[in-house]
Amino acid sequence: MIPELGQFALILALVLAGAQAFFGIFGAARNDLRWQAVVRPAVAGQFVLVSTAIGVMVHAFVTFDFSVLYVASNSNSALPTFYRVAALWGAHEGSLLLWAWILAAWTLAVAIASRNLPVSFASRVMGVLGFVSFGFLLFTVATSNPFERIFPVPADGRDLNPVLQDPALAIHPPMLYMGYVGFSVAFAFACAAMLEGKLDQVWARWTRPWTTMAWSFLSVGIALGSWWAYYELGWGGYWFWDPVENASFMPWLVGTALIHSLAATEKRGVFKSWTLLLAILAFSLSLLGTFLVRSGVLTSVHSFAADPTRGLFILGFLIIVIGGALALYAWRAPLLKSPAGFEGTAREAFLLYNNVFLVSAAAMVFVGTLAPLIADALKITPLSVGSPYFDKLFPMLMLPLGALVAIGIHAAWKRGQLGNHRRRILAGFGVAVVFGLTLVYAVYGRGKMLTPLGMVLGIWIIISSLFDPIDRLRRRLTLPRAVLGMTLAHIGLGVGIIAISTVESYSVERDAAIAPGETLALGRYAYRFDSIKPVEGPNYDGVRAEVTVLRDGEPVALLHPEQRNYWVQRSTLTEAGIASGWNMDLFVALSKEVGGGRWSVRAQLRPLIDWVWLSAAFMALGGVLAVSDRRYRVRAVAAEPAVAQGSAAEAT
């Protein structure tokens, strides 16, 4: 009985979403306040109803209600409680439910925070969000009912995919969805502005915190996925350029471009139509990501491919939402004027270059990801690209972008006045060269050609981003959170470039078959295989090895790599043994027994690898700090004259 309540709640939520869309969009168009008054209650009601559906689902998982097909397929009586809750988004139907719930939550936040916005604008924003929600709920109810029953009721469930039974991967999808869905707010703001036919600098100020927040979540989500791949796939890599990863990376790249373009729109009133387009694009890529992952177009997910109606439904939805927004854009964007001019070295110009590189990178990933599909549709020679394509092209776009960041940070609005900062730029560069090359050649030794480049660039970016905040402190000026956040995010970028360059060049790995008691030498380190013992978990058994890592003969770390066999799905998973240090990870993964008590193992030294994820944490934290800045909380409805006095000191 309870699961049917969940389904009923979803259907009611669908109706409310329809009302929210209709009264929001048409109420604003007719300028009818009574119609628009329906919108906020509809938002609140929808949130309560979708939350009820989620609650019902969690209840079914926690109480082992295997009469619900989704629970029977993704849970098991031996599954620990934490994963029974996380199993909610372990497969297709539940993921959609989570998507809808997060959208309802974002919309609720908009409803609460938009009380100071003009009524018609807020109604339109919520109307557009209601439309998106309507589509998703309709999709869920019509093609992917999560509450479907199964009869006869199975005695036990088929268990959650063991790959997903991991803390990082359990919270990875919610974070990712917070980012994906969060871009729907920027999208709704863009659509509302186009419907109003008005886009000013105040609009950009309203839109910025939402966009930055979504981007921060997406950064965390992507980093968690990458971190998981590192320790769980037993392989030591952190990024594989597979379609699912790319699907999340494209909105991130475009979202990053959007954040910067919004800054220019807010401060200087430029790039208006471009900003609109990016806002549409960021959410479109999020939807496309959901489509690619969920439709089985790129990866052959069998359960899904069996049902082409789902793919067609999402495609139809994409066409209506994205196609509609782009049509609106073609109609309205020509009306927008960007009056202010700027010089080629002004901050605006650097933000434009930044956008060119970021969008090119997104396009590059897009082409690489969809190449097989496009080739297939055009009936030309099947073409596919692996990570070699991405590994070659991506740095070619990112390194110039890095240099632009290091210089552009110093540029002032309107007129670059880079001449005034020539000494800072050159000094920063000089220090970066000396420091970077010393690090490369004295500490790590010769690496690939890109290494010194990446190292110098990363350090240069960090130094460049520190000038302004230090300057402010010395002159006893305030240090707004927006500036602090921007600085932190740029430092994150520098750290990321340094970390990736280092990991890519100086990782050492060795594979060998060794027996307990034997030692595997790896540079100054030695991995001593002490023992191997059986181990049993709640829903798996396996073996657990003890490996002592010695440096120059002294023990420095004790690692416990595992090999687990999950009972229900009969799959084997590797849990790598990792000791993380500030400068290096010691990594060992067990592969298999090769006979005679010998195990084949992979041992690695991965310098600075944790800094790859830490860089994402810096960026996300920077984003959150910037969002918390006072300037976004100013309670002003009247269009205040957006001041745009050009100065490098102004935060972007």
Partner 1 sequence: MIRFLIPAAIFLALAGVLYVGVVHSPNKSTMQSALLGKPVPKFNLPVLGKPGMTLSNAQYAGRPWVLNVWGTWCAACREEHEALLEIARQNALPLVGLSWKDDDDAAVDWLTQLGNPYSVVAVDHDGRTAIDFGVYGAPETFFIDASGRVQYRHVGAMTPEVWEREFLSRVPRGGLP
- Give the total of residues touching partner 1 (CB under 8 A): 64
What is the residue type of 92? H
Q: Does 382 bind partner 1 (CB under 8 A)?
A: yes
What is the residue type of 274? W
Q: 513 φ, ψ to 5°?
A: -105, 120
Residue 315 vs 642, nearer CB to partner 1: 315
Residue 35 vs 139, nearer CB to partner 1: 139
Candidate segments 22-30, 247-255, 326-334, 521-529, binder of partner 1 by CB under 8 A: 326-334
Among 1, 151, 152, 330, binds partner 1 (CB under 8 A): 330
* Residue 464: exposure state from Cβ atoms within 10 A (0-12, 13-18, ≥19): buried
As measured in angstroms, the least distance from the Cβ of 368 to partner 1 is 11
As measured in angstroms, the least distance from the Cβ of 237 to partner 1 is 7
Q: Give me the sign of the Cα torsion angle 288, 290, 292, 294.
A: negative
Window 233-272: residues binding partner 1 (CB under 8 A): 233-235, 237, 240, 242-243
Among 318, 437, 550, 579, binds partner 1 (CB under 8 A): 318
Q: Interior CA angle at 168 toward 165 and 173, to 5°?
A: 90
As measured in angstroms, the least distance from the Cβ of 199 to partner 1 is 14
Among 229, 409, 440, 461, binds partner 1 (CB under 8 A): 229
HEC letters along 513-540 = EECCCCEEEECCEEEEEEEEEEEECCCE
Distance CA 605, CA 586 (A): 5
Residue 330 vs 634, nearer CB to partner 1: 330
Among 197, 386, 555, 597, binds partner 1 (CB under 8 A): 386
- Are the beta carbons of 428 and 486 closer than 8 angstroms? no
As measured in angstroms, the least distance from the Cβ of 580 to partner 1 is 22
Distance CA 203, CA 628 (A): 18
As measured in angstroms, the least distance from the Cβ of 384 to partner 1 is 5
- Are the beta carbons of 628 and 480 closer than 8 angstroms? no
As measured in angstroms, the least distance from the Cβ of 245 to partner 1 is 9
Alpha carbon distances (Å) from 363 to 218, 347, 358, 380, 394:
19, 24, 9, 21, 11
Window 551-570: residues binding partner 1 (CB under 8 A): 570
Window 597-616: residues binding partner 1 (CB under 8 A): 600-602
Q: Does 370 bind partner 1 (CB under 8 A)?
A: yes
What is the residue type of 176? L
Q: Does 161 bind partner 1 (CB under 8 A)?
A: no
Q: Does 380 bind partner 1 (CB under 8 A)?
A: no
Q: Interior CA angle at 236 toward 230 and 238, to 5°?
A: 45
As measured in angstroms, the least distance from the Cβ of 335 to partner 1 is 10
- Are the beta carbons of 265 and 275 closer than 8 angstroms? yes
Alpha carbon distances (Å) from 57 to 38, 114, 617:
29, 31, 31
Distance CA 559, CA 578 (A): 6
Residue 68 vs 279, nearer CB to partner 1: 279
As measured in angstroms, the least distance from the Cβ of 302 to partner 1 is 8
Q: CA neighbours within 13 Å on the CB side: how many for 519?
A: 13
As measured in angstroms, the least distance from the Cβ of 332 to partner 1 is 9
Residue 235 vs 444, nearer CB to partner 1: 235
Among 511, 536, 541, 640, binds partner 1 (CB under 8 A): 511
Closest CA to 584 of 307, 232, 236, 258: 236
Residue 68 is given by DSSP the state B
As measured in angstroms, the least distance from the Cβ of 59 to partner 1 is 31
Q: 548 φ, ψ to 5°?
A: -100, 130
Q: Does 303 bind partner 1 (CB under 8 A)?
A: no
Q: Does 296 bind partner 1 (CB under 8 A)?
A: yes
Joined together, the tokens standing for residue 323 give: 């196609």
Window 570-599: residues binding partner 1 (CB under 8 A): 570-572, 591-592, 594
Name the site residues for partner 1 (rule: CB under 8 A): 229, 233-235, 237, 240, 242-243, 273, 277, 280-281, 284, 291, 295-301, 305-308, 311-312, 315, 318-319, 322-323, 326-327, 329-330, 333-334, 370, 372-378, 381-384, 386-388, 511-512, 570-572, 591-592, 594, 600-602
